[in-house]
Structure 1
């Protein structure tokens, strides 16, 4: 009986990386809706929509004319109460006024100091500043509008870095940890891959889906990535150097056991193997084979343990199959 034509490959030594796959949604590192703490007419808008701003940059100025008048009044009242208290302080030492009058003078000064501080605080709040570095969205008001306390004025988001939340099954919890590398791909940028790392792991398990939420962070210096984008993630959870790798199609499963045909002196020997990490088109062999072993990758249907084989290139193997 002539030997069976088969395709073969050598057991290769390479790095094997175990990867978890997940999906998630991008979110801003920081996000806030800018709202006034005081009511007032919007006197000036200091930015353009979509503009990058730094922490402390002025965004809106409210009409502060009434508050400035209150501030001047508070300053005048405080000056008067201080003069009155200084006079009372001199007189109490000479026992020329009652203790109650002295206490009243001191109390009036304290009240006027508080009123001045309140007016100064209110004046400072008429200029609304950016609380952090970020990018402004579309404003909801115009100069001249009257803004109420808590009214939405504009959104501010911090886009560098961006975060992405995703879930992995609870059975993989022991494989994940902060600092692990991730690769993110987005439909909005086909063909591009973005690198980041795991930032944190939620301490609670989702009982409904038996999963755990992870949060990763991605550098975004060009501000290409935007909150809300759908993301596909690859999370590298384990990496082994000098792993034995074979083509996945070389595996010959029988029940729950895995076998391969190893070529020895022109014969196919059925060898049981233990598999490990799988990656695109390849699988790690933990036991059963050695580096450099020749294994059958196509033509196993015609084989049995001890069958004679003739390794041929893929095209020749296909032609031999058609001839049979």
Structure 2
């Protein structure tokens, strides 16, 4: 037992000595194995292991500039198109078709006679009622003359007046029955495909033909309840249709349903599209982007620049450093606004043209750290700004101008232009934001600082 205890103690001492030697060896500076390589490194000014080391090299980061862009506050939804007015004509009384005064897909006018049912019996009833009314009026006139001469009592005059009223009611009933045998167009529109022929006997309520008013199209869609405070009549919505790829239409929001759907927690919205060119049809599937507002000259940064901490948002802004190759990182709290793919709006904390760190934030140990910036392509900031501005304009093409126009079925001007680039609609918009031409000046200044 004593020998075993001695062996254990010796093993513990050996392990402790080996651990101490390893620690001491790791703390010693390691020199180059090749003396010639060490000499070359020393002559070039590079730090040599084993020699006195200088200050640590500044970390390298990637940066981007705060750009001015035109942002749109919008949402995405799906909906369906429907006619502004739509009806299926049905007879109110039974009868046999004697005449059809329209062809399939014809444009019809309000009050135009479309279908005539057999009216021989109602016409005879109207003639009979007219004759009875004529007799009742003659008797009433004769009784009025006799009562003045005291030949009859006043009661006979009252009874003849009542007979006149009864005859007038019978005539009105016969005329109403006759009118119901004429099927007329209730509004201007385009007739569909008829389901009847001359000689068919129609029962009351049978389908005859549908009439569609296509000069204006309604687009009905639903939005989540969180948007019910943003959407309001008079705003615009961009409409894309799978049936017409490459085309974008503008709808004018006309109504917002005051009742929210309790099942889906959504609010119904209806927009109107000018369709006097008859390009749209009811029932089309639509992808709707309602535009709640447009912000000119919004300051945006890449999403990678935002560093969330404890419910707050920070960015690392770069200030001029001790030399032309370095910058000083400053952590700045910002407030963010709208978000778009890859971009975030900054409402407070930054100015246009500021440099912010987009990659390498983890290398910045503390506020005021000196960093090196990777070289950016010359003019990258300005080009990105201009491109973002143009992209913003394309995203709201057709939503910029909403003015009254006589004869427009939606009550406002809708720029239903193709989504493809078109110089004419966007020409007046090019000089609108004042900050855009001024943006390259801070860019050039900061580019000169970056060397």
TM-score (norm 1): 0.87
Q: Deviations over 1:94-119 (max 9, x none)?
A: 22224443333222222222222222
- Provide the secondary structure at the position in 1 that maps to 2:229: helix
Counterpart-to-counterpart distance in 2, 1:302 and 1:144: 89
* Structure-2 residue corresponding to 1:287: 348
Where do 1:105-124 residues align within 5 Å?
105-124=160-179
- Provide the secondary structure at the position in 1 that maps to 2:129: helix
1:182 to 229, 237, 243: 237
- Provide the secondary structure at the position in 1 that maps to 2:245: coil
- Provide the secondary structure at the position in 1 that maps to 2:123: helix
| Matched-pair contact (CA < 8 Å) for 1:8–1:294 | yes
* Structure-1 residue corresponding to 2:63: 8
* Structure-2 residue corresponding to 1:274: 335
- Provide the secondary structure at the position in 2 that maps to 1:214: strand
Larger Cα Rg: Structure 1 or Structure 2? Answer: 2
RMSD: 2.3
Q: Do the aligned partners of residues 4 and 312 (structure 1) sit closer, same or farther apart at CA in structure 2, a change above 3 Å counting?
A: farther
| Matched-pair contact (CA < 8 Å) for 1:5–1:312 | no
| Matched-pair contact (CA < 8 Å) for 1:186–1:231 | yes
1:163 to 212, 218, 229: 218
**Greater displacement, 115-124 / 2-11:** 2-11
- CA shift at 1:22, angstroms? 1.6
> Structure 2: which 5+ residue stretches go unaligned?
1-55, 321-325, 378-451
| Matched-pair contact (CA < 8 Å) for 2:143–2:157 | yes
| Matched-pair contact (CA < 8 Å) for 1:3–1:310 | no
- CA shift at 1:301, angstroms? 6.0
Counterpart-to-counterpart distance in 2, 1:52 and 1:101: 56
Matched length: 314
1:74 to 120, 129, 141: 129
**Structure number with higher helix proportion:** 2
* Structure-2 residue corresponding to 1:311: 374
- CA shift at 1:215, angstroms? 1.6
Q: Deviations over 1:189-236 (max 9, x none)?
A: 122111112211111222222222222222111222222222221112
1:296 equivalent to 2:357? Answer: yes
- Provide the secondary structure at the position in 2 that maps to 1:151: coil
* Structure-2 residue corresponding to 1:94: 149
1:51 equivalent to 2:114? Answer: no
- Provide the secondary structure at the position in 2 that maps to 1:66: helix
Counterpart-to-counterpart distance in 2, 1:221 and 1:280: 35
TM-score (norm 2): 0.64
| Matched-pair contact (CA < 8 Å) for 1:42–1:145 | yes
2:88 to 27, 30, 33: 33
Counterpart-to-counterpart distance in 2, 1:155 and 1:192: 28
2:298 to 217, 237, 243: 243
1:172 equivalent to 2:233? Answer: no
| Matched-pair contact (CA < 8 Å) for 2:63–2:373 | no
| Matched-pair contact (CA < 8 Å) for 2:61–2:371 | no
Where do 1:208-223 residues align within 5 Å?
208-223=263-278
Counterpart-to-counterpart distance in 1, 2:343 and 2:313: 14
Q: Do the aligned partners of residues 249 and 225 (structure 1) sit closer, same or farther apart at CA in structure 2, a change above 3 Å counting?
A: farther
Q: Deviations over 1:141-162 (max 9, x none)?
A: 1111111222211112222211
Counterpart-to-counterpart distance in 1, 2:356 and 2:142: 105
- CA shift at 1:130, angstroms? 0.9
- Provide the secondary structure at the position in 1 that maps to 2:187: coil
- CA shift at 1:294, angstroms? 1.8
Q: Deviations over 1:1-22 (max 9, x none)?
A: 6666654332112332211222
**Greater displacement, 177-186 / 107-116:** 107-116
- Provide the secondary structure at the position in 1 that maps to 2:350: coil
| Matched-pair contact (CA < 8 Å) for 1:6–1:312 | no
Task: Name the structure, 1 or 2, with higher relative contact order (CA <8 Å, separation 6+).
Answer: 1
Counterpart-to-counterpart distance in 2, 1:256 and 1:234: 30
- CA shift at 1:284, angstroms? 0.8
Q: Do the aligned partners of residues 2 and 57 (structure 1) sit closer, same or farther apart at CA in structure 2, a change above 3 Å counting?
A: farther
- Provide the secondary structure at the position in 2 that maps to 1:175: coil
Counterpart-to-counterpart distance in 1, 2:171 and 2:360: 92
- CA shift at 1:254, angstroms? 4.4
